[in-house]
Each structure stands twice: as C-alpha cells, then as structure tokens.
Structure 1
Amino acid sequence: MLHRGHQSTDGTGGGELTVPMAWLYAEYIADELLRTGDLMPPTSFEFRAGRDALALTIFLSDTDGELPGIRVVTQLETWLSLTAYDQPWQDWVAERMSQLRAEAARSDGPAPDLDLAAAAWRWLEETELLAPDLNAVPGGAAAGEDDGPEVWTPAWQLGLPLGHLAIHLF
C-alpha cells in the first residue's frame, strides 16, 4: 500500500491534503538516532547525508506500511543489516524506489512520501562532499595536510556509514 500519508481536510471547500507521515516519521527517527550518537554537528552537510541515508533506509524497509506504528528497537537489526558496509545499499535503494514508483503509477493517487524520498535520494546521489580519502596510502599526507588527502565523495557514501554507526550507538 503506497498511500501511507494521513488524509486530512484542508478546510477550503472539502479538498484533501495528503500529509507524508511515513517519510516525516522516517526522517524523525533518523534525526534522533544521529543526534543521540552525537557524531556530527546537526547543521553540517555530513549530518544531512547521514539523516537522509538513514531515513531512506527506514522508509524503504517499511514494506507493510506500518512505519508510524513501529517500535524502533524491533527494527534496529534490519536497519543495521541494510546499512552494513558489505551490502549493495545503493542498488537496494534504486530497486525499492522503482517498486514504489510502479505502485504509485498503479494507484494513480498522490505520493508525497515517495516524492520526498526521491528528493532525498537525488540529493544523496548528486551531491558530493569533501571527505578523507580512505583509499590513500597510510602516512601519505602531503605537507600541510593534517588529516591526509581528501576526495570528493557522493553524499550517500558518507551518510550511509554515519547512519550505520548511529544505529550501533543507539
């Protein structure tokens, strides 16, 4: 079921407004997990990357439309396995987004949750952040570089391990 949003009347002649409750709840859980882990300043791009990657994981793993009613502690293992280093997370996200788009096309209704998830996914894929080069030769920092060389990295590649670590710290 794709219509996970809450229907409410907007008060202007009986029109309905679909509120993206599932996405907002996933984003809230992700934000709380990252804040609890205290891994980055909440105003940083790295924090946003972690929140968006974790929110996507939470939102897309909810295959039964039960997200607003779940108990977070019962889902931690699922989220840990999805965000693990050796998992094809990017492929999984693309596949789940495709499945949800197909469901939305069949239902012919508004899909604000999916629209917000798609926007987050687009940002994570298209945005690059300057990060330490984890593939650099140890001790190979150039003169004046305290932490070693840095490279431009897709935001999802930074956000995913942050989300995974935040789950562990919870």
Structure 2
Amino acid sequence: MLPESTNGTSGEKIAVPMAWLYAEYIADELLRAGHLVPSGTLEFRAGRETLALTVYLSDSSDELSGIRVVSGLDEWLSLTAYGHPWESWVRERFADRTAGARRGEVTVVSPDLELALASWRWLSGTELLAADLGGALPPHWAADPGVDESEQVWTPAWQLGLPLGHLAIHLF
C-alpha cells in the first residue's frame, strides 16, 4: 500500500514515517533491555506501543531530530508515572497534531501521525486480561499492597502497557 502523500520535494518520493519508526525502535529497545515480558506477547506489544506513543508525542516538532533518548528519559518517566493522566495527555497531543494538520476543509495527516493514530486505536480498542491493580495500591504505598494476582479483569491495552513502559524506562 502506497501512502497518499509524498515528502513534498519532487512528488515522486514516498514519505517515510521516520519519527514514528524511530520512536517505535526506542520503545522496543527499552522493553527488550528490561527483560520484563517475552517479546512475542500481547503484553510486550502493549508496552511497546504505549512507550512509542509517549516518545513520539513528547516530541513537539514531529520530526526525527526532536527525539532525544538521553534527555527524554526523565520526561518519559514522568509521563508514564502512576497517577499521571496519560490517556488525557495522549488525546490532547493528538488533538493538537490533527488541528495543525488541517488545511481548509481537508485534513492532511503525515505518515508518522497515521501510524501513531493506528497505534492509539489498537491500544484503546484492545482489552487484555490482567491482574486487577485498580485500587490495590494504598494511599501511602504500604509494605504489602495486597495485590491478588488471581483476581483478573479486562483492561485496555494501554493500561497494561503504561506500567511496563515506566518500569522499562526506570531499568534503563
């Protein structure tokens, strides 16, 4: 499938979503280095897609050059931290990106943004069976949080990928 747009130089070249591919590569490497879950699992994909969205959307310029691993680690760690409104942050970033892509009545979406939106659709539309962590953490993080891993619930993939991504960044 060929993309509908080109890179704008001569009309003959295909636009390559390098910013998204780079963000996905960074996320993949962080998760693999952490050895948290096997790479062929849905949990791994949830973590990779969540981290890739965090990396991609934290770069306000939507360009490959704006993604910096070393300087981004602290920002990515805070964005994926427990209690951060990550889902709202993602929706706001997408709203900003799509608003900036409107030209007249036609919305022009870059290949990077198309892939990021597809990733978000998968993360928000796919539910995975996971341990019920909702309400398991007491307000002051007691020594025994009382998580019963046999209690499982269906949860959106991003809710499982977010703590995996956070831990992978922390272990890096």
Same-fold call, TM cutoff 0.5: yes
CA shift, 1:136, in A, is 7.7
Distance 1:113 1:148, change over 3 A: same
Q: Which moved more, 1:126-135 or 1:89-98?
A: 126-135
| Residue in structure 1 matched with residue 98 of structure 2 by the alignment | 101
- Structure 2: gaps (5+ residues): 137-144
Per-residue CA shift, 1:113-169, capped at 9, x if unaligned? Answer: 00000000000000000101124888796xxxxx41211111000001100000000
| Residue in structure 1 matched with residue 27 of structure 2 by the alignment | 30
| Residue in structure 1 matched with residue 129 of structure 2 by the alignment | 130
- Structure 1: gaps (5+ residues): 142-146
Partners in 2 of 1:88 and 1:157 — Cα distance?
A: 11
1:121 matched to 2:120: yes
- Secondary structure at the aligned position of 1:19 is classed as coil
| Residue in structure 1 matched with residue 83 of structure 2 by the alignment | 86
- Secondary structure at the aligned position of 1:152 is classed as strand
**Number of residue pairs matched?**
158
1:1-170 alignment runs, 5 A limit: 7=7, 15-68=12-65, 70-106=67-103, 109-135=108-134, 147-170=149-172
Distance 1:25 1:68, change over 3 A: farther
- Secondary structure at the aligned position of 1:131 is classed as strand
Distance 1:59 1:69, change over 3 A: closer
Q: State whether residues 136 and 149 of structure 1, in contact with CA within 8 Å, keep that contact through their aligned partners in structure 2.
A: no
Q: Which moved more, 1:127-136 or 1:114-123?
A: 127-136
Distance 1:121 1:149, change over 3 A: same
Aligned-partner residue type, residue 77 of structure 1: D
